[in-house]
Chain A
Amino acid sequence: MTHRRHAAEEPLRLKLEGATVLELITGSGKIEVVADGEPGVVTVEGMRPPRRGRYRRSVRREGKRWIVHPRPGSRSLRAHCPPGLNVTVSTRSGGISLQGPLGEVRAAAGSGRIEAAEVESLEARTRSGRIAVRDCEGRARLGVVSGRVLVERAGAVALLAVSGKVQLREIAGKVEACTVSGSVQVQAEGEDDISVITISGNVKIQLPLEVHPRVEAKQMSGKLRNDLPEGEDVRLRLRTVSGNIAIGSV
């Protein structure tokens, strides 16, 4: 049996049985995933009680994926899953909160903020809303049209943004950030290359004092200030049309 019969208010209970991905989709509503569940089982709160004891179209298994997509209508969903599970979530409007430790995570919100803590890797995009990442062990690949981005710690970051302030802190590896407007601040460990491209945003790069970067900056207008001695430790590829660039120590 893949999923159990439910009474009203009782959470949906799914046995993973070899599934490696939990996929939650809702038309409109908040999605929360917390990795505090028991091994091999996922519970999902917020589902409408099933008709005749079975979820027909709303819950299905496709290969290694469990897909939960309440239909018709929109629901806020809260899932509890075992630590380390790969999770994919999508909502048209509504916030997304992901509390790890989780595996590979994909999150898409039409509008609404995305918060992720303790994930192995992250692919997150929202058209309007803030993205906040507390700890991403691998690469965080982020896309935002309008909204702030804050990454407190990540293995690497690839960011495509249009407007909104971007703050990337404690980045161990490669940084690639492309924004139209909005300032970009990068605090990196200086272990890998950093590339920041903006049209009108100001760029601030902070590296450990002992790191001597090779600065490749191009600007059409705007000022460049580099307080670090140049060297070959790491490559900084910085492009702005009209923004200022400042490079200094952490």
Chain B
Amino acid sequence: MPEAEAAAAVSGVVVFTDIVGFTEFTAVQGDAAANELLTAQEQIVGEELPPGARVVKELGDGLMLWFPEPDAALSTCLTLMERFERHSEQTMQPLWVRMGMHWGRQVRRRDDLIGHDVNLASRIADQAGPAELLLSETTHACLTHSIAADRFEEIGPVLMKGIPNPIRLFRALPAA
């Protein structure tokens, strides 16, 4: 690994989020309602991010998040899912956020993070459905036992665009 790259490399969990149906919602309810939805997402994420974690960047209606370690990443994302669902139920604003999570190595590029593991996290998010949280086998293997095994469902190996090998995915379920 080149010295400059090694110096900029970090290890952690990258999470991509995306509001499913945002385009349809905006078309039906208008720009002001769409803006309110994004504000609600921003506020909830801001309240729940633990110390050390950060919003790397906003991607339209989606976010790229970074966490220093997998347990905190997963528990935060499960909390986010629950809060998004509660918000949707209370306000009828469909905050249906899908999420993809992958633990690996990233390279810093100014405030951004790049690299294969970042791309993989993005591809995993693409696989998720509305209000679904998916994680790679690598991430699953890095978790300690603080979250019960019955809160994961194995999806199996999935072949994703641009990723040469199949990635075994798991679904994380919110508390019953």
Binding site for B on A (CB under 8 A): 23, 25, 27, 69, 88, 90-92, 106-108, 110, 123, 125, 127, 141, 143, 160-162, 178-181, 197, 199-200, 218, 220, 239, 241-242
Contact = CB atoms under 8 A, between A and B. Distances in A.
Closest 3 CB pairs of A and B: A160-B129, A180-B21, A106-B156
Contacts of B156: 23, 88, 90, 106-108, 123
A125 B161 CA distance: 15
A160 B24 CA distance: 16
B140 to A, nearest CB: 15
B114 interface: no
A178 B130 contact: yes
Of the listed residues B20, B96, B126, the one surrounded by the most CB atoms of chain A closer than 10 A to its CB is: B20
B113 to A, nearest CB: 25
Given A23-B157, A106-B154, A239-B92, A143 B129 contact: yes
A180 B24 contact: yes
Given A90-B159, A108-B155, A143-B132, A241 B28 contact: yes
B152 interface: no
B29 interface: yes
A125 B28 CA distance: 27
A175 to B, nearest CB: 15
B153 interface: yes
Contacts of A242: 28
Contacts of B24: 180-181, 199-200
B158 interface: yes
B96 A106 contact: no
Of the listed residues B21, B127, B153, the one surrounded by the most CB atoms of chain A closer than 10 A to its CB is: B21
A135 to B, nearest CB: 21
